[in-house]
Structure 1
């Protein structure tokens, strides 16, 4: 019989090395899925593993709710993690060790903590004869730390029927404690719930020109053309664009902190928000960030072609205007193509779902200030949203003041507070039984 303790479940998952190095190079996802399947089986829940390729395992289960007429809830999380260099860590990254009130290890924050909470709550409910209010579909997937081609994106294409009737989904990157000082000195505990995320538009830029000798004048130098285009992109100040989520975050967070919010001067507002600005500063604008350069093979040869990759992030409702401006900035002689293109995500604000999440958080922390926020990066929500499922970042977690949570994901010495895991499991249990 598997443990029902969320800390031990998380430790067991951490001990299964599911490192994903990208490009199809991953390991451990099948053993992790089998572990989760065993925990569910002990709780009397049937599940099935779907492999997109040998070892690239995705587990799905459906738990009947008390009211089968209600739309179903999807609870999804990924089993893979980014690699960890053991020599850089204070503890072995896959030991699942508890030390000083924290569970240490790769994946404790991103996102085996949430997967363990889900498994723990399912065991608790079944052992006490209770059921969630509505059907709950569980999906523990592969490959989120790369492109999702072996995970959520494959699963929603090849097995779309598994998610029939799901109206909403919850997953990573939201509902954690974020301590911010108010203007009167109070410690305000924000709990940002993800209601949106920027889209991904990774671009390959190719400049072409005339090859030649490096010692001779060449007005058609592909490298110079590319560098000029990248400079214009990097120097461009993208205008402020307030999505409904970002607008609501600014207004509600400002009210909680006693800070004046001026939506016509967002930069000044961000300066007044203090540490809370870190939750929103990357999502008041689109972004175009050059990340990879490739050109030439010899110092005295001007190449005929030069390439760059640009990480472009797109706010909901802005892709057409953004790409038009990108083309203007690139100018002539530069070709662009998408190497990854996933749309932005926008869920409903102030929906019954959001209110149920807020109620569940406040039941465990009565002073919780629950606010919507937009994620700057991306999650597997991009795979599930096209199915008509509203996706929220809701992976509840209590964090002590001063804990560098946002630096933990993909970082060295990743760890999560033991009491934070137990808090999250209680919040999740309440949400599943009342939403």
Structure 2
């Protein structure tokens, strides 16, 4: 009797093991790795579960020789991870995969992790891109609950796109490296993104975004290579990251709200910017933006808001706080006459700007400490300059072309320790008149 019971127990044990393996390893392409979960998720212990399953792109036939197109293999691996409650798409270390433009589409069954420890390479030759795929390289669409992480690199190999020579393949469109469209609850952390043909990391019509400890790199002379670009996106936290490109380190466009940016090292580039907003008389609405505890060095601009003439809308409740600047040409900027070409037509009307705080902006500038060029039709109101300490840069060129600060059609208060001392006379007192408040209220309704 005991021998029979023991034999029955062994059979049951084997049956249970078979069922478990069959469930966790679909088609033999995944493997349970709960014991090594921290290796993949680092300090984020809450993302580890007993049912996490990993799908290695090499298991789906990827060559990883930098020549063969592994795009279809990436998509096939994504589809399997997307069908799994806790799927992990693994790009292993010491491997480089050539990936042509792809869309990784959701929604998925559960949480998906894209673990990048190797390198993803974009086609370096412009002729390798079809005209239908010039908007983005790796596109995430309708994806909810996704984490992208790892010690690897996403390399846009964009140097051929930066040359001013026109190509019949390029027209005026250049691809973004990573784009998220209509996605929610996205985490991007630890990876390096570099040398995108244009924008490196874009979030469009999304919400619930967190970017942590990423490195974004492109040469200072690479045009329009913004680091992180937000558009129609809300509930965002960007933190503890190093960004140096040929354009804005962070660009915040229309439709963005509840954005918290902190502990960013920015430079080279064009600083941290809202805009340009309102181009071609379009509607633009941005609110509740906080940028704090960051360093901006060797950039053209520091903390900036830029809008086009003729636009409609409202920028409100924006704070730049505790920003250390070093050798920045224009550390504090509001420009309601933004123009990115040699000549722009003068237009009446402007996007209203109110409730903007610049506080504890400290460091050195090379051209002009403050540049507030606001519209005579719709002046900037409720502007607060407090504890601003900006001195000319030292060195053979520092301070040689220093300009006096500009404060045009700007209303608010200047308080605290102010260097240069002329800042205390920068802002007009009052609210800019009843017509300004009326315009602001009407734009509030539009937004």
TM-score range (shorter-chain normalised) is under 0.3
Q: Which of 1 and 2 has greater Rg?
A: 2
Flag the structure with higher helix content: 1
Q: Please, what TM-score do these two structures have when normalized by structure 2? A: 0.24
TM-score under structure 1 length normalisation? 0.24
The structure richer in strand per residue is 2
- Highest relative contact order (Cα 8 Å, sep 6+), 1 or 2? 1
